[in-house]
Structure formats: structure tokens, C-alpha cells
Amino acid sequence: MKRKYFGTDGVRGRVGAYPITPDFVLRLGMAAGKVLGKKRGGRVIIGKDTRLSGYMLEAALEAGFSASGMSPVMLGPMPTPAVSYLTRAFRADLGVVISASHNPYFDNGIKFFSAQGTKLPDETEAEIEAVIDGGEIEVCDPSCLGRAYRQDDAPGRYVEFCKSTFGSHLSLDGLKIVLDCANGATYHVAPLVFRELGANVTVIGNHPNGLNINDGVGSTHPEALCDRVLAEKADLGIAFDGDGDRVMLVDADGKVRDGDNVMYIIANDRKAQGKLQGGVVGTLMTNLGLEQALKREGIDFVRSKVGDRYVMETLLEKGWRLGGENSGHVICLDYVSTGDGIVSALQVLKACLRQGKDLRDLSAGLTMYPQDLINVRTNSSFDALSDPKVQKEVKAVEEKLGSRGRVLLRKSGTEPVVRVMVEGEDHGQVHSLAQQLANVIVHESEGEIG
């Protein structure tokens, strides 16, 4: 279903450029309130990450929802999964996060959660868009306006929830952990979770100033964490992204372990405990090595479209409980209804404690295929997925890789970028073929502009 404003993860863009403007976000709040605020006095939970623009967008949303008759509950800076959890805990009608996730500070976005804490289906987003484009949206009667208030104890509630997923009989005593909070929404809650569970915690990326979110830190820039883990001689490192729904791990040797590693460890541990409940859902970007490793362990695996919302849809369709993306979005459906970096990290630590092994040992059975990903900026009207010359080149690359590799092209849902992914056994060949395909896309896109 084609949508005008919503992408793969809500409405997102550069702050000050349409649609990330105060007037549009006000209208977005009014439209969402009209579509989803089915009862008088309905509540909407609103959280945000640490971007400076969050103040402006928060005020616009607050006004829009109040005008629709919904009462906004303001959380302040909170991870995206915390908003999902608190939407369910408070029995609210809707949850909203103001965030652009792993993007730089000058981007921002709005994403919604249903009363069940799940991403809204495409059909509901299309319904909201229809109201936005349908002319003037009436303000409700003055006697029905929503009343906004702040929930000051939200961080403590979420910290206790995260700890509850670890198990009261387990402790992190004796473990030395480095956390990288990306100068984002986990900066005040993640250190509390791991310290209260007994770990010796060192923290980086925990001094947000509104402009430094994801700037050289966090799950998209794990180099700083790798260095700190080695310097501290820590047992492992944990990196979150700006809104806390992604996680990357770093072992004691300074090696990054991505979302595929996280799923491999959790899946094997749960199988050993008899608690896997089906197989694992990955995406088109999931490394071929994970698929083959799970197969050797007798664990079923399927791929969904890219995006944690589609992972979630597939989990629900199959009745399975574990899925995610190599980017670090991992959904443990027995605890959460969206990707949660803190909870996912705790499940890996549980596996380490139960099996008496470290992160490196638990990853030993997973051999990752070399994978090259190139983001190619194109003319916004250029469609690489249907361009004849691009498709001819894709087939040529696939023939060179044979059955021991993959090629994937996909459009970004938030910017005019085509993501080129090539995967195979030989790193040199993979890199060369990915660059070769990217060059064809650039040439074809420039030719269209000319």
C-alpha cells in the first residue's frame, strides 16, 4: 500500500523541511487523534529522544492531540520501546515517539504505536493520511478538549520492566560492561538497568546536548565502544542507537556482534531451554550465514521484508516469538511488542550466565558471509528496481555469485537512496561486485537527470 507521508518507520525527514514542520505535525496529531481516538477522553503517550527539535515537535503534537479530544501524557526523553511498553501499561489508546532513530540530529520523525504497543498497520497510516489531505480538520468542542500532563515516574517504571525480563534468580555481579548510549534516549535508563542487576558499568555517549545524538557513537558507530571495551578490559560492550530500539554487542576481543549474532545466541539458548516456540524471522538483509547456522541447529528460519514492522507481522502470522534485523532491531515477543535494545541485550546476558560462556564462545557456531552494503543517492524519481540496465547488471552479478551468494536492491523508506547489498564467500569479489552495481545505478540515475 503506497503512502504519501509515512515511510517504513513513521513520518521522517529533515527538520524544517516538509513534512517535519510544526504546522504539519500539529495537523498530523489532529488527524491521528480523529482516526484513533475513538472514545471521548482517550489517552496518547508521547515520548521523544534527545534531539533539540523534539521540544518543538512535542509542543505541536500536544496541541494537535488536545484539539482532537485526546489527552497527551508527556514522558520526556524515553526509548522507543519504553513508549511501546508504557502505552500498554497505561491502557492508552495510542503511543507516539518523536525520533529519527539512528539518523543525525538535524533529522526527526514521528512514529505511532497501537494500544497493543505495536506499529500501526499500513491501512491505518493510510487512513490518517486521508484525513490530513481531506481539508480542514475541525477542533472538537471546547468542553471535550484533551488535558495534557507529564508522567514523571516513567523512567523508573521502564527500568523495572527491563529488569523483570532478566529473571530474579540471576545477577550480573562480577561482569564488567561498557554501555554506549549514543547520546540518545537510553542515556538515563540503560545504566540504571545494568547497575541495578549488579554489573560494573562504564558509560559513554551519555551526555546529550540536543545536537550530538548518534555523532560518532552508538550502534551505527561502534568503533568508540570497541576501543573502550579493550581499554577497560571489559567482558563486553553494548551499544544502542538514538532511540534505543537497536543494539550492537562487542565481545572482549573488541569484535562487533550485530543483530544476527544476537538472534543466533537467543535462539539457541531458548531451544536448549525448550522455550523457542517456533523458528526465527529475519529479513531480506539477514546474513546468509545465520540462515545456514540455524538450519544446522534444526531451527526454522524465514525472511520478511526489511523493517521491524514486517518482522512483527510475520511473527504474528506464524505464531513465532523471535525475530529481527542485522541492524540490531530484535523482537523478543514473549516480553516486548517491538525492538528493544536493552531487553535484547539482557537475553544474551542470560544465555551467557546459563551456559557459563562468554559472547565470543556463544557466537562460535555462526560464520558470517562477507556482505557489502552501499547506499547510492539517486534522483528521487529514478526507480532502480525497474530500470532495465540495472536489472541486467543484477542478473550478471547473481550469475557470478551462483548459489553461494545473494544480491539485494531496495529503496530507502526515508530518503532518495538505493541500498545495494551483495553477499558471498569471497570478500574481495563481494566488494568489487557491489561497487560495480552501484556505479551502474549512479550512471543510470544521472542519465535520467540529464
- Quote the CA–CA distance of 151 and 295 in Å, as a whole number: 46
**Residue 56: what pLDDT?**
98
Cell numbers found for residue 119:
506499529
114 is catalytic: no
Question: In the CATH hierarchy, which top-level class contains the domain 11-152?
Answer: alpha beta
- Quote the CA–CA distance of 204 and 221 in Å, as a whole number: 12
pLDDT tens figures, 322-370: 999 999 999 999 999 999 999 999 999 999 999 999 999 999 999 999 9
Cell numbers found for residue 296:
544446522
Domain 157-256 in CATH 3.40.120.10: yes
Q: What is the mean pLDDT of the chain?
A: 94
**Residue 404: what pLDDT?**
84
**Residue 441: what pLDDT?**
95
pLDDT tens figures, 46-63: 999 999 999 999 999 999
DSSP assignment of 294-323 equals HHHTT--EEEE-SSHHHHHHHHHHHT--EE
**Residue 450: what pLDDT?**
44
How far from chain centre, in Å, is Cα 111? 11
- Quote the CA–CA distance of 135 and 137 in Å, as a whole number: 6
The CATH architecture that domain 371-449 belongs to is: 2-Layer Sandwich (3.30)
Of the candidates 51, 113, 50, which has an alpha carbon nearest to the alpha carbon of residue 87?
Answer: 113
- Quote the CA–CA distance of 365 and 271 in Å, as a whole number: 15
Q: Domain locations in the chain?
A: 11-152, 157-256, 257-362, 371-449
Instruction: Give the containing element (helix H, strand E) for 14.
Output: strand 11-14
Catalytic residue from among 68, 101, 219, 337: 101
**Residue 154: what pLDDT?**
97
DSSP assignment of 66-89 equals HHHT-EEEEEEE--HHHHHHHHHH
- Quote the CA–CA distance of 124 and 128 in Å, as a whole number: 6
Q: Do domains 11-152 and 157-256 have the same CATH topology?
A: yes
**Positions in the chain short of pLDDT 50:** 449-450
Question: In the CATH hierarchy, which top-level class contains the domain 257-362?
Answer: alpha beta
Q: Are 309 and 381 in contact (CB under 8 A)?
A: no
Q: Are 236 and 259 in contact (CB under 8 A)?
A: no
Cell numbers found for residue 111:
512514529
Of the candidates 329, 246, 339, which has an alpha carbon nearest to the alpha carbon of residue 283?
Answer: 329
